Amino acid sequence: MLRTWRHHRVQPWRAETFKFSTDPELVAKVTDVVGLYLHPPENAVVLSVDEKSQIQALDRTQKVLPMQPGQTERRTHDYVGHGTTTLSAALEIATGEVTGICRRRHRHQEFLVFLRHVARAYPDVELHLVMDNYATHKHPDVRAWLEANPRVHVHFTPTSGSWLNLVEVWFSIIEKQAIHRGTFRSVRELMIKIRAFINGWNDRCQPFIWTKIPEQILAKAHRPTTSDAVH
């Protein structure tokens, strides 16, 4: 049996998840967002925008035991929670620089504060913001602000296609390098750590290079969901 599985390259013990976007504007949105990455408009700044919500300020019940020769770092499995914060971030596609602020809550009010913060960080230049379809991003107050600030243009990723948003790559980096293994005695301490990481990142930042063209992405998005294995 195992020889047959190997011959047909079948691995029944493995399973993966998938989710195809059902967005009726899938082609247009993929083409639009990827076009911004590959061919950004002249005299404009392209920013990948999103929020990392519910970041927990966790403190271990005992001190972490540092790594020693022949022994890994050790920490208790239990912890004390001291609250959460939401990190809003904008990744500049051309440079990799990150503009970010932390807020206690995750509502459209906080998102508007962040949009104004980004607008001040990039004055007198046309901005193109790539973001997902989270309800906060489409709130009437947010739409009104965008209409009042025509130099700021929004480009939505397809439904179930937030992986097209490059800031998600940066979120995974800050999670691994600054948050996941950290111990924080308060939300304020967590926010200070996040700010320090952003400052350090911007001192050495480099852009993430997008390589896939829309046709390659759409070919996978429309792949058949049934097996074509020969029995």
Considering the entire predicted model, what is its pTM? 0.83
Bridge partner list, 130? 48, 155
pLDDT at 182: 83
Residue 207 CB contacts under 8 Å (≥ 6 apart), including other chains? 92, 93, 94, 95, 96
Predicted confidence band of residue 58 (pLDDT cuts 50, 70, 90): confident
Regarding beta strands 79-92 and 98-103, do their DSSP bridges make them parallel or antiparallel, or are they unpaired? antiparallel
The pLDDT of residue 123 is above 90: yes
What percent of the chain has a predicted confidence (pLDDT) above 70? 87
Residue 130: closest CA among 172, 94, 176, 84: 94
Q: Tokens 């308060």 appear where?
A: 186
pLDDT at 62: 65
Domains, the chain, ordered by start: 41-62+75-220 (3.30.420.10)
The pLDDT of residue 33 is above 50: yes
pLDDT at 65: 61
- How far is residue 53's CA from residue 83's CA, in Å, rounded to a whole number? 12
**What is the DSSP track for 49-102?**
EEEEEEEEEEEESSPPBPPBTTB--B--S-EEEEEEEEEEEEEETTT--EEEEE
